């Protein structure tokens, strides 16, 4: 935690939004995820986001949620960095060393899996940076908190 810029620590903030309470809004430029609350408030979490050209944008729905999820790199990830990802082509079971961390929220659009996730990370120093292969990374304690607050069907808006 001592390596995390304090602005990226979870906090309740004033937040004016056109979206109703319960909506997740991600601002990839500022590296924040907001869970919109009532009365002009939001819970704000610091996030790591996708590198240029790899990030999700638009609107999706959390259609699945998993604790200690299984992870398989996409074929595009393996093609970009085979030395890092090829050994995991058949996947990795959930656990402390899994890149998806403690929880994952699976984003769907028009009923189809986007392959983008909001998930924990084994690299908390990536919070506040654009370094992922497109997913939205959170500190494990924050993704556990968010996971517990939202139901399936939650709308996610990535600005």
What's the chain's average pLDDT? 93
CA 148, 71, 27: angle at the middle one, nearest 5? Answer: 55
**pLDDT, tens only, 58-109:** 999 999 999 999 999 888 889 988 998 899 899 999 998 899 999 999 999 9
Q: Copy the structure tokens of residue 59.
A: 């609107």
Residue among 3, 29, 70, 135 flagged as catalytic: 135
Query: Quick one: CATH architecture of 6-158?
Result: Beta Barrel (2.40)
- Whether 29 is a known active-site residue: answer no
Q: What is the DSSP string of 42-79?
A: EEEEE-BEEPTTT---EEEEEEEEEES--B---HHHHH
Catalytic residue among 3, 29, 70, 119: 119
In terms of Cβ atoms closer than 10 Å to its own Cβ (0-12, 13-18, 19+), residue 29 is exposed
> In 3D, which of 37, 92, 70, 67 has the Cα closest to residue 143?
67
């Amino acid at each position: 935690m001592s390596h995390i810029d304090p602005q990226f620590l979870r906090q309740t903030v004033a937040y004016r939004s056109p979206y109703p309470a319960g909506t997740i809004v991600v601002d990839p430029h500022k590296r924040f995820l907001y869970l919109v609350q009532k009365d002009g408030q939001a819970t704000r979490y610091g996030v790591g986001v996708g590198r240029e050209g790899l990030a999700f944008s638009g609107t999706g729905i959390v259609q699945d949620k998993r604790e200690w999820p299984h992870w398989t790199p996409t074929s595009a990830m393996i093609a970009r960095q085979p030395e890092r990802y090829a050994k995991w082509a058949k996947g990795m079971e959930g656990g402390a060393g899994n890149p998806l961390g403690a929880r994952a929220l699976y984003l769907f659009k028009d009923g189809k899996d986007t392959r983008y996730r909001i998930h924990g990370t084994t690299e908390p120093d990536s919070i506040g940076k654009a370094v992922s292969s497109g997913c939205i990374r959170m500190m494990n304690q924050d993704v556990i908190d968010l996971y517990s607050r939202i139901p399936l069907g939650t709308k996610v808006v990535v600005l």
